[in-house]
Amino acid sequence: MSRNTIKILLADDHSMVRQGFRRILEAQQDIEIVGEASDGREAVALVEQLKPDVVVMDVAMPGLNGIEATRRISEVSPRTRVLALSMHKDGVYVREILRAGARGYLLKDAFDADLIAAVRAVARGEGYIAPAVADSVLADYRQQVSDPIDLLTSREREVLQLIAEGKTNKEIAAHLNLSVYTVDAHRGRIMEKLNLHSTGELVRFALRKGLID
């Protein structure tokens, strides 16, 4: 066995699925299957014992699911990398298992070549996201890490900038051809959306976002 052989642990509660993956992966000269687990707990215990390079991990397993198992594997064997397998294209599943420490995410109906490529990429320390889930991952990411300023309408950003520049509600109203009441309502909504509680905080926020110099 070559020193560069990738040692794999298969974790899936369906033995037929494990057999299918074993057949695909063992046909590769640089891959060796060192163990199989039928649930998350068994996977964690075998990782501690066998220290595989990669765990091909089903996300949905009884007892201890793949997400929690991945979290524990990251603790007991930091050098072992997890490639998650799932039927789900939903970005939430991807986010949760990546947050738990997985390095890759592949759909169970992927082509053989994709599974092999994903295993090798993860073994090298690279990330791998199945192309079919990339769009939902990006959409989920944008939702999760949306910049607070994205919550503001174009008009609210304009009002925020004028407040930060030191203009009064009356001056802003005249500048934008609005009533003072409308400007005051905008100010209230801006502070609520950004969770800010004073004009000073609004100014500091605008400075951080480059709205004013």
User: Which has more pLDDT, 17 or 146?
Assistant: 17
Give start and end residues of each alpha helix (H) in the chain. 15-26, 40-50, 66-76, 91-100, 112-123, 131-144, 154-164, 169-176, 180-194, 199-208
According to CATH, the superfamily of the domain at 6-144 is Response regulator (3.40.50.2300)
**Whole-Å CA distances, 158 to 92, 152, 183, 212:** 34, 10, 11, 11
Q: Cα(35)–Cα(23) distance, rounded to whole angstroms?
A: 13
Closest CA to 189 of 147, 145, 158, 146: 158
Residue with tokens 């004009």, as numbered in its chain = 199
Highest mean pLDDT among 7-16, 100-109, 137-146: 7-16
Distance of CA 51 to the CA centre of its chain: 25
Is the CB of residue 97 less than 8 Å from the CB of residue 67? Answer: yes
- pLDDT mean over 10-16: 95
Q: What pLDDT digit, counting tens, does each position of 101-133 carry?
A: 999 999 988 889 999 999 999 999 999 998 888
Q: Spell out the CATH class of 148-208.
A: mainly alpha
Using one digit for the tens of pLDDT, what is the confidence trace for 130-139? 888 877 777 7
Tracing tokens 């004073």 back to the chain, one arrives at: 198
CA pair distance 12, 89, nearest whole angstrom: 18
Domain positions in the chain: 6-144, 148-208
Does pTM top 0.85 for this prediction?
A: no
User: Is residue 193 within 8 Å of residue 151, measured between CB atoms?
Assistant: yes
Structure token digits, residue 4: 């560069």
Report pLDDT for 3. Answer: 61
